[in-house]
Amino acid sequence: MSSALRSAIRAALAAADRAADDPLAAFAALERAHILSQRLPVLHAYSHWRMLRLGWQLRDWREVAGQLPRIIAALLFSRLWVPVGNSGRARISAFARQPLSAELQRLLDEGKQP
């Protein structure tokens, strides 16, 4: 993983922490962390865990229920296949690909390099 990708993931998780009083901003930051960590099983599962916790705090049971299988799938399948760009939220199909911004695509491309 490139240092730029690692930094971007850390920054997104930190932004989610700072947005504790703004659930929309917190979810946006976690979605960014999710997209960037999709090929990294532990970080990928961690982004889903954080979404589950936020869903729990908001009493959004659909989000909580949707994150449980995603955590397991992230640990088992992240290295095999992921729907690139998927935000990771429960309201989006776990199999749906979503468009990437040029910045996210650049970070992911850099992360592929040794």
26-55 residue pLDDT tens? 999 999 999 999 999 999 999 999 999 999
Work out how many domains the chain is built from and give that number.
Answer: 1
SS3 content of the chain, % helix, strand, coil (to 5): 65, 0, 35
The domain of 81 spans 3-112
Contacts of 62 (CB under 8 A, 6+ apart): 55, 90, 91
pLDDT band at 114 (very low <50, low <70, confident <90, very high): low
pTM for the whole structure: 0.92
Q: Is the Cβ–Cβ distance between 23 and 58 less than 8 Å?
A: yes
Contacts of 12 (CB under 8 A, 6+ apart): 29, 30, 32, 33, 36
